[in-house]
Amino acid sequence: THQMACQGLQGGETVASLKRESESLRKKLEEERKKLSDIELNQVAEKIEVLGPLSIKTRRVLKGHGNKVLCMDWCKDKRRLVSSSQDGKVIVWDAFTLNKEHGVALPCTWVMACAYAPSGCAVACGGLDNKCSVFPLSLDKNENLSAKKKSVAMHTNYVSGCTFTSSDMQILTSSGDGTCALWDVESGQLLQSFHGHTADVLSLDLAPSETGNTFVSGGCDKKANIWDMRSGQNIQSFESHESDINCVKYYPSGDAFASASDDATCRFYDLRADREVAVYQKDSVIFGASTVDFSLSGRLLFAGYNDYTINVWDVLKGTRASILFGHENRVSRVRVSPDGTALCSASWDNTLRVSWAAYL
């Protein structure tokens, strides 16, 4: 009824007055952010030494997937990793020996997300099945992992990303249904949902543990949002990309994050300044960026692109420090190992590559 429709309105509020207020608030936000924009990050970084040549090269190629590798995640033990593929297969590898330690075939295709549990005793994965399932990893190689599968998350569209939180007990998911959600692994209960994106959410990343209970998400609405995990509140929002954001990743200090987009740029946002502080782009880089990750010190940003390359950006100076070739199709995921020694890249060429710098 018309009566109910007017509930919650303060005297005189109409759609028109709310619209005017939202426009003036947006303007105010822009002005506030501009006021504090007294210098560019790369100008501040002019005084520091240019990076020397990097000696990072591919040293291992992990072959075994029969189709596009869509996602991978390192185990905290710094040598194992889990990867997932378009053909529904999830494989746990020892990146050191190239040994395949576990394999499970999911009943769905396009397993877009996979994550290793902090304990190293389980993996989570999901995709076109709209779910995220957890598999405990057994020491018994002959055990059928599928039998132990536990369905945890249920979305109404594909699962694009998943991560365990600080323990094996909770997972955070992002979905094509436009939401992110926090789940209790044991009961499958939805603990918190995060609404605010207006299109598919393609990626999420948890803030480094020292900085508290927040995470960042990015998606097809070109926005990157920062969320409070406990309250479900959207704390900050950034909109400067010109196309889908495919990946978001926190800077190691937790004070900033980077994003990769179909607009062929990667961008760097500082949370305390509440704005974009760098754009990583080149005229010669015209293909979409699908994935990003930082080196341990945050100085290097590894970005995988649809032109099969990985550009290594100097985060402070904004220039390209190196370019890694080798994949024969799109790079879908790059991840630096937990101790910062190696970079793993996953690709639509069905392989994963592990790269590291020369030893001195």
Partner 1 sequence: MSGSSSIVAMKKIVQQLRLEAGINRVKVSQAAADLQQFCLQNAQQDPLLTGMSSSNNPFRPQKVCSFL
Contacts of 345 (CB under 8 A, 6+ apart): 302, 304, 310, 324, 327, 331, 333, 334, 352, 353, 355
Assess 199 for contact with partner 1 (CB under 8 A).
no
For partner 1, give the closer residue by CB, 308 or 356: 356
Q: What is the DSSP string of 95-118?
A: TTT--EEEEEE-SSS---EEEE-T
Cβ at position 274, least distance to partner 1 in Å: 5
Which has the closest alpha carbon to 267: 296, 238, 287? 238
How far apart are the C-alpha atoms of 74 and 60, rounded to whole Å? 15
Alpha-carbon distances, residue 131 vs 88, 107, 152, 171 (angstroms): 13, 11, 7, 12
How far apart are the C-alpha atoms of 60 and 68, rounded to whole Å? 18
Which has the closest alpha carbon to 91: 79, 107, 106, 109? 106
Assess 59 for contact with partner 1 (CB under 8 A).
yes
Among 100, 102, 148, 299, binds partner 1 (CB under 8 A): 299
Cβ atoms 190, 197 nearer than 8 A: no
Q: Where does this chain touch partner 1 (CB under 8 A) — which range of 44-52, 80-88, 130-138, 280-288?
A: 44-52
For partner 1, give the closer residue by CB, 51 or 154: 51
For partner 1, give the closer residue by CB, 343 or 346: 343
Assess 210 for contact with partner 1 (CB under 8 A).
no
Q: Which residues pair with 333 in a beta bridge?
A: 346
For partner 1, give the closer residue by CB, 40 or 143: 40
Assess 60 for contact with partner 1 (CB under 8 A).
yes
Assess 44 for contact with partner 1 (CB under 8 A).
yes
Residue ranges in 225-254 that form contacts with partner 1 under rule CB under 8 A? 233-237, 251-253
Cβ at position 299, least distance to partner 1 in Å: 4
Alpha-carbon distances, residue 24 vs 8, 20, 58 (angstroms): 21, 6, 52
Among 26, 63, 230, 282, binds partner 1 (CB under 8 A): 26
Among 19, 57, 63, 230, binds partner 1 (CB under 8 A): 19
Assess 342 for contact with partner 1 (CB under 8 A).
yes
How far apart are the C-alpha atoms of 214 and 135, rounded to whole Å? 26
Residue ranges in 249-288 that form contacts with partner 1 under rule CB under 8 A? 251-253, 255-256, 270, 272-275, 277
Among 33, 100, 102, 320, binds partner 1 (CB under 8 A): 33
Q: Where does this chain touch partner 1 (CB under 8 A) — which range of 114-122, 155-163, 201-209, 296-304?
A: 296-304
For partner 1, give the closer residue by CB, 213 or 236: 236
Cβ at position 203, least distance to partner 1 in Å: 21
Cβ at position 115, least distance to partner 1 in Å: 22
Which has the closest alpha carbon to 157: 128, 192, 196? 128
Assess 105 for contact with partner 1 (CB under 8 A).
no
Q: What is the DSSP string of 7-76?
A: TT--TT--HHHHHHHHHHHHHHHHHHHHHT--S-HHHHGGGSPPPPPP--EEEEEE---SS-EEEEEE-T
Which has the closest alpha carbon to 125: 78, 92, 156, 99? 92
Among 50, 139, 147, 360, binds partner 1 (CB under 8 A): 360
Cβ at position 284, least distance to partner 1 in Å: 23
How far apart are the C-alpha atoms of 270 and 202, rounded to whole Å? 21
Cβ at position 20, least distance to partner 1 in Å: 10
